[in-house]
Amino acid sequence: MTNTEEAREKFGRRVQRCYGCFVAYYLKDMYLGEDATYYCEHCKDETMFHFEQFSQVLDLSKLPSMRPEGE
Ligand SMILES: [Zn+2]
For ligand 1, the distance from its centroid to the CA atom of residue 69, given in whole angstroms, is: 31
For ligand 1, the distance from its centroid to the CA atom of residue 14, given in whole angstroms, is: 16
pLDDT (tens digit per residue) in 17-71: 999 999 999 999 999 998 889 999 999 999 999 999 988 887 766 665 555 554 4
**Domains of the chain: which residue ranges?**
3-65
For ligand 1, the distance from its centroid to the CA atom of residue 2, given in whole angstroms, is: 31
φ, ψ at 26 (rounded to 5°): -70, 140
For ligand 1, the distance from its centroid to the CA atom of residue 30, given in whole angstroms, is: 9
For ligand 1, the distance from its centroid to the CA atom of residue 27, given in whole angstroms, is: 12
What local confidence, expressed as pLDDT, does residue 12 receive? Answer: 93
Q: Can you tell me the distance from the alpha carbon of 49 to that of 51, in angstroms, rounded to the nearest whole number?
A: 7
pLDDT (tens digit per residue) in 33-48: 988 899 999 999 999 9
Chain length of the chain: 71
CB within 8 A of 2, min separation 6: which ones?
none
Q: Can you tell me the distance from the alpha carbon of 26 to that of 57, in angstroms, rounded to the nearest whole number?
A: 19
